[in-house]
Amino acid sequence: MDVRSLRYFIAVFEERSLSAAAKRCFIAQPSISTTLSQLEEDLDTKLFVRHSKGVAPTDSGTQLYPHACRMVNELNDIKDMFRKNAKPLTLSISLAPFLSGTLISQVIKTMLDEIPGLTLSLVDASESADLRFTCDSYTKNDDVFYPLWEDDYVVAMPVGYWLADYTSISIKQIDKQPFVSRTPCDILESWNFIMQKQGLTTDVRAQVKTEEYALDLVAAGLGISLIPEHSARGRGDIVLRTLNDIALKRVVGLAHNKDRSFPAYVINTILMSKNKFFGKKSAIKSRVA
Amino acid sequence: MDVRSLRYFIAVFEERSLSAAAKRCFIAQPSISTTLSQLEEDLDTKLFVRHSKGVAPTDSGTQLYPHACRMVNELNDIKDMFRKNAKPLTLSISLAPFLSGTLISQVIKTMLDEIPGLTLSLVDASESADLRFTCDSYTKNDDVFYPLWEDDYVVAMPVGYWLADYTSISIKQIDKQPFVSRTPCDILESWNFIMQKQGLTTDVRAQVKTEEYALDLVAAGLGISLIPEHSARGRGDIVLRTLNDIALKRVVGLAHNKDRSFPAYVINTILMSKNKFFGKKSAIKSRVA
DNA sequence: GCAGGCTATAGGTAAAAACTAGAGCACCCA
DNA sequence: TGGGTGCTCTAGTTTTTACCTATAGCCTGC
């Protein structure tokens, strides 16, 4: 019987549903199911009656709930007690220009929420920052890199563009298309190499620096472009199609200089929150550059 | 940060030593070391200063201690709360006649200590019992068997016997020796088979039923005998020697009928306490007969 | 300066917890 | 009444964590 079980129990009790509790805890539903069974076995009492539209707490469950809450809260209090003692921490962070913001802003929000006393200042990517959101291909040798998620590159095109009729497209269909080029881009070299090898060309209509601007131009009908999926998701004014014959991807993560040391829990907090935002398959293992 | 870490922390705090804490928790010293480091990292504070003759708590450590104790106690209270609700439980247990008692009495003591409301009644091995301490070779097909430890068979001989000069002996040296035979014995058949195959005989001076009686006769100088190590350990009036050319062993454990069901935590409590008593190597995995 | 404590690190193994896929059940709605 | 939906449970697999052994390194006392 550990606190993990109690956390799950609390979620189930409040949601009146294993599936909902699983979502709330960012884990799969069978994990909740087995953990809860173990808890029931350990306490030798059924905590919920299962029916087809959720679960209802038994008397034992109702009895356990306040105690479970108290346990979990007290454990959090202990943690806070020591972290509050710690001197307020100010970190500078930077964002690589080719990264767009929705997911990263969620990460930053989590950091501020979960690390009391933390102050962040955003600096330009050209300046040196304590923590840098960037891609693995842009890390230096004396960096430590913590991967956060993987982005697949997809083709972005205006609504109604002829290529949108295909569910996924071949790189050969890109030949001679009007194109919005973006630089710096971590896969630009591989892209050029592949195009050249296949004897393909694009008709470059614009050269831009940021993903947002590229997407705006695509939406305006200037041409198509190659964009990491997470950056383009959620825009209704463009259409995204995957490439079916080549897989281009980048690994987005957090880098800092090896010599710069923070309290370890800062990094841990960020890594812990990974599967909150990114599906399991795109949240990948750590690696030191 | 889980309760396990806090338990270890408490042990270290009270023992003022990682090694001593490890012994008290029945785990290896490096496990304490790493777990404690993780806790320190998580709370972002050193809890102990290490020096060459143990550790001394820092202010943070001293501050944490009472909270840690409270957490652990409250968790135990929750467990007890539900277990006390449960109806008092009475189980009959039996002991196979060829098992001697020191280790088993420890197991029984643990059961009574850790399961409030449990009453045990010892019945004769011939009667049917809820739980039976026995060997794996004596389980029936409709039994569930939980292994507790392995016993190596060793040769027991009187103090000063000529074979005692060897640190370990060969089965060939047993040939024509005065022997105290014991039956029932779970490896009797294998033993006879091996002896016969090698053309060896023993000079049987006595036929007895229990291990204790066999050891008494050996101590009295009547002959040598073959005894599971755990049963013979701790007697100063006999000498034990391992066999170097054959390995005879038995698996001692707890059996019950498949259809007879108990609260799962009864079995769990017993299995949890395994490495309290038996070294890691002899405490082995569960198996269903 | 060497023996005997102690803790820390490295590398491998076993156990626990997580995931995916799919079965089975009750309910709802056509 | 049959099919779809949403729920939980089971089985089998993979990943992660905890633990072990062996050994290095560091002080202390002899």
Query: Is A234 in contact with A105 (CB distance < 8 Å)?
Result: no
Q: What is the largest CA-CA distance in chain B?
A: 72
C-alpha distances out from residue A133 to A138, A258, A269, Å: 10, 15, 15
What is d(CA A92, CA A120) in angstroms, rounded to the nearest whole number?
6
> Residue B206: which H helix or E strand, with range?
strand B203-208
* More confident site: A54 or B142: A54
C-alpha distances out from residue A273 to A35, A103, A229, A268, A277, Å: 21, 12, 20, 9, 7
Query: Is B172 in contact with B243 (CB distance < 8 Å)?
Result: no
Token representation of residue A280 = 């399991």
Of residues B193, B238, B211, the one with CA closest to residue B135: B211
- Per the DSSP assignment, residues forming a β-bridge with A158 are A238
Of residues A77, A2, A9, A40, the one with CA closest to residue B75: A2
Number of H helices, E strands in chain A: 10, 12
Tens digits of pLDDT across chain B (289 residues):
899 999 999 999 999 999 999 999 999 999 999 999 999 999 989 999 998 888 999 999 999 999 999 999 999 999 988 877 667 888 889 888 777 667 788 888 888 888 888 888 888 888 888 888 888 878 887 788 888 888 888 999 999 999 999 888 999 999 999 999 998 887 888 899 999 999 999 999 999 988 889 999 999 999 999 998 877 777 888 998 888 888 888 888 888 887 777 777 888 888 887 777 765 544 444 444 3
CB distance A82–B263 less than 8 Å?
Answer: no
Strand D proximal residues, A:30-59, Cβ < 7 Å: 30, 33-34, 36-37, 50, 52-55
* More confident site: B271 or A102: B271
Of residues B10, B5, B4, B3, the one with CA closest to residue B66: B10
Same fold, B89-148+252-282 and B151-250: yes
What is d(CA A48, CA A16) in angstroms, rounded to the nearest whole number?
9
Best probe of the A interface among B44, B64, B84, by most A CBs < 10 A, is B44
What is the reported pLDDT for B135?
86
Query: 3-class SS at B68?
Result: helix
Q: How confident is the model at residue A162 (pLDDT cuts 50, 70, 90)?
A: very high
C-alpha distances out from residue B224 to B148, B179, B230, B233, B246, Å: 27, 5, 17, 15, 17
DSSP for A171-204 reads: GGGGTT-EEEEESS-TTHHHHHHHHHHTT---EE
CB distance B44–A78 less than 8 Å?
Answer: no
What is the rounded radius of gyration, in angstroms, for the C-alpha atoms of chain B?
A: 24
What is the reported pLDDT for B62?
93
What is d(CA A172, CA A199) in angstroms, rounded to the nearest whole number?
9
CATH architecture, domain A89-148+251-277: 3-Layer(aba) Sandwich (3.40)
* Residue with tokens 């071949």, as numbered in its chain: A170
What is the reported pLDDT for B280?
54
What is the reported pLDDT for A218?
94
- Read off φ and ψ for residue B109, nearest 5 degrees: -60, -45
What is the reported pLDDT for A288?
41
CB distance B83–A263 less than 8 Å?
Answer: no
Query: Is A143 in contact with A260 (CB distance < 8 Å)?
Result: no
B248 C-beta less than 7 Å away from strand C: no
B2 C-beta less than 7 Å away from strand D: yes
- In this prediction the ipTM stands at 0.78
CATH class of segment(s) B89-148+252-282: alpha beta
B272 CA: distance to closest CA in chain A (Å): 12
Residues in chain A: 289
Scanning every residue of chain A, which has its alpha carbon at the shortest distance from the alpha carbon of B81? A43
pLDDT, one tens digit per residue, over A234-277 is 788 899 888 888 888 888 888 888 777 777 788 888 888 777 77
CATH architecture, domain A3-85: Orthogonal Bundle (1.10)
Scanning every residue of chain B, which has its alpha carbon at the shortest distance from the alpha carbon of A44? B263
What is d(CA A219, CA A235) in angstroms, rounded to the nearest whole number?
9
Query: Is B193 in contact with B254 (CB distance < 8 Å)?
Result: no
Query: Is A263 in contact with A131 (CB distance < 8 Å)?
Result: no
Mean pLDDT of A91-113: 81
What is the reported pLDDT for B194?
92
What is d(CA A22, CA A15) in angstroms, rounded to the nearest whole number?
10
- What kind of fold does domain B151-250 have according to CATH? D-Maltodextrin-Binding Protein; domain 2 (3.40.190)
Query: 3-class SS at B59?
Result: helix
User: Where exactly are the structural domains of chain A?
Assistant: 3-85, 89-148+251-277, 151-250
Scanning every residue of chain A, which has its alpha carbon at the shortest distance from the alpha carbon of B60? A82
Is pLDDT above 60 for A279? no
Residue B170 is given by DSSP the state -
What is the reported pLDDT for B115?
84
Angle among Cα A206, A209, A214 to the nearest 5 degrees reads: 55
What is d(CA A230, CA A248) in angstroms, rounded to the nearest whole number?
13
What is the reported pLDDT for B287?
40
Residues in chain B: 289
